[in-house]
Amino acid sequence: MSVFKDEKIWRVLTNIWTYVFLMFICANFFLHNRFERLIGPMSIIYIGILGLYVGTKEFDRWYDMHAEDRHPGELFVAAWTVIILILMGFTFILGDAYEVSSEAVAAYIMVLSVFALTQKSKALHKRKHQKK
């Protein structure tokens, strides 16, 4: 079995990229979007890795190879929500010199979308197994 087919490697990469990307978004915000050009490529990498991680988890869930969820997506959503709200609060308080990157907001929306899809998939999976 390839190491990249294992859910654990995608979880580790997702956790690393989540931390790195969120910290980069915060640093970029306080540096007046000096590195805005890097947020797009970083968000593509992050969303790609997140998608691979979630995809492997959902595939395993539907083929009954998935253990009980010990790493809930709520933590990712909570972290993103807190960071975005804090940065928007700073924008309001500090004025126009500080603005939240539109790429960061787009990444946040993607995280919310992935979470919503996995919640629906989880509910459908539970319903399927309750009928048996």
Can you give the pLDDT at residue 3? 52
Q: Measure the CA–CA gap between 33 and 29, rounded to whole angstroms.
A: 5
| Residue 66 reports pLDDT greater than 60 | no
Condensed to tens digits (0 to 9), the pLDDT of residues 2-45 reads 555 567 888 899 999 999 999 999 999 999 999 999 999 999 99
| Residue 70 reports pLDDT greater than 70 | no
Can you give the pLDDT at residue 74? 86
Q: How confident is the model at residue 132 (pLDDT cuts 50, 70, 90)?
A: low
User: Measuring CA to CA, which residue among 50, 41, 23, 60 is closest to residue 103?
Assistant: 41
Can you give the pLDDT at residue 81? 97
Q: Measure the CA–CA gap between 96 and 74, rounded to whole angstroms.
A: 31
Condensed to tens digits (0 to 9), the pLDDT of residues 90-126 reads 999 999 889 999 999 999 999 999 998 888 877 776 7
Q: Which residue has the higher pLDDT, 24 or 63?
A: 24
Q: Which of the residue ranges 53-57, 78-82, 89-93 would you say has the lowest mean pLDDT?
A: 53-57
| Residue 57 reports pLDDT greater than 90 | no
The number of folded domains in the chain is 1
Q: Measure the CA–CA gap between 79 and 89, rounded to whole angstroms.
A: 15
Domain that holds residue 15: 3-131
